[in-house]
Amino acid sequence: MERWFEYIMMTFGGLIGWFVGEFKPTFPLILIAVLFILYDSWSAYELDKRVHRKYPDKTKREEAKFVSYKFRNVIPTIIERLVVIILAYCVQRWIFVDLYVPLSYIAAGVVCAEQLLSIAENKASCRLPGDKHARMWKMLAHVLIDKTERHFDVDFGPEAHGHKHRTQLDRDDF
């Protein structure tokens, strides 16, 4: 019985070694994408703190906390984006054999752009009055989605935003 366990472990180690050797070029891309995803979750936490400071009577908890039940949503996001980058590398390496198309770089760039947009939305949402960068974020808030209500299940009403959401724009606005 011990021999079978050794064979299984050797096979498992061989598969891990093959995976690391085969997909080594994607590791820097995955690392950068994971850093973007983690910074997006940190900016969502900062948004949570701003919401609690600006609207203490309308939020459910007494103070902002970095809660694990919200952070556990980050793990599937990281896994999904990791799979996308690895699949793009597989297509790049084994399907476009004679033609160099940097699909893994494109996929990582799309993941980073998606997270950068989310970070900008988090940063532009629910800005406090004494903020030193308020002017820049206020300009960006006109084109970005305000995540305050969506992230925290709080309805502040249209007067809290000071601008129309993309979903509230009329056809006459175009």
Tell whether 171 is covered by a domain.
Answer: no
> What percent of the chain is predicted at pLDDT more than 90?
34
In angstroms, the Cα distances linking 110 to 28, 78, 143 are 15, 14, 20
Q: Where are the alpha helices (DSSP H) in the chain?
A: 2-22, 27-54, 68-71, 74-90, 103-124, 134-141, 148-152
Tell whether 170 is covered by a domain.
Answer: no
Tell whether 117 is covered by a domain.
Answer: yes
Q: Please report which confidence band the pLDDT of residue 64 belongs to, taking 50, 70 and 90 as the band edges.
A: low
* Domain tally, the chain: 1
Tell whether 1 is covered by a domain.
Answer: no
Q: How buried is residue 55: exposed, middle or buried, by Cβ count under 10 Å (0-12/13-18/19+)?
A: middle
Mean of the pLDDT values across residues 85-109?
92
Q: Which domain holds residue 137?
A: 31-158
Q: Which pLDDT tens digit goes with each residue over 133-174? A: 777 777 777 777 777 666 555 555 555 555 554 444 444 444
